Amino acid sequence: MGQTKEQLQKLKDGRTNGITPIKFQLVLIRREMKILGLLSSSLIFFSFTHAKDISLMNTWKPTNTFCEIGNRLSCPGNTICSKIDASKETKCGELLEAPPIIFLFPFDRNTSVICTQSPENPNGTHGFKNMLFAIDLATPYSKPASTVRASADGKAFVFDQCKIPKGKPAKSELDDCGLGLGNHIRILHEGGYVSFYVHLEKSLVKTGDNVKAGQGIGVEGWTGQAGHRHLHWDVNKLGGNTQADWEKILSNPGWGGISVPYYFRVVINEKEQVVNSKDIKCKHDDMNQKPWKGAQVLKKE
Q: What pLDDT does residue 8 have?
A: 40
SS3 244: helix
More confident position, 33 or 8: 8
Tens-digit pLDDT profile for residues 230-250: 999 999 999 888 999 999 999
Q: What pLDDT does residue 57 have?
A: 47
Q: Would the pLDDT of 24 be above 70?
A: no
SS3 6: helix
Q: What pLDDT does residue 160 have?
A: 95
Domain ranges across the chain:
5-55, 62-94, 102-294
Q: What pLDDT does residue 96 have?
A: 82
Range in 12-16, 185-189, 279-283 with the lowest mean pLDDT: 12-16
Return the amino acid letter for 49: T
Which secondary structure element, helix H or strand E, spans residue 32, and what is its range? helix 22-36
Instruction: Over range 110-125, report the average pLDDT.
Output: 79
3-state secondary structure 197-217: EEEEEEECCCCCCEECCCCEE
CATH number for the domain running over 102-294? 2.70.70.10
Tens-digit pLDDT profile for residues 66-101: 888 767 677 887 788 887 665 567 888 878 889 999
* Mean pLDDT, all residues of the chain: 78
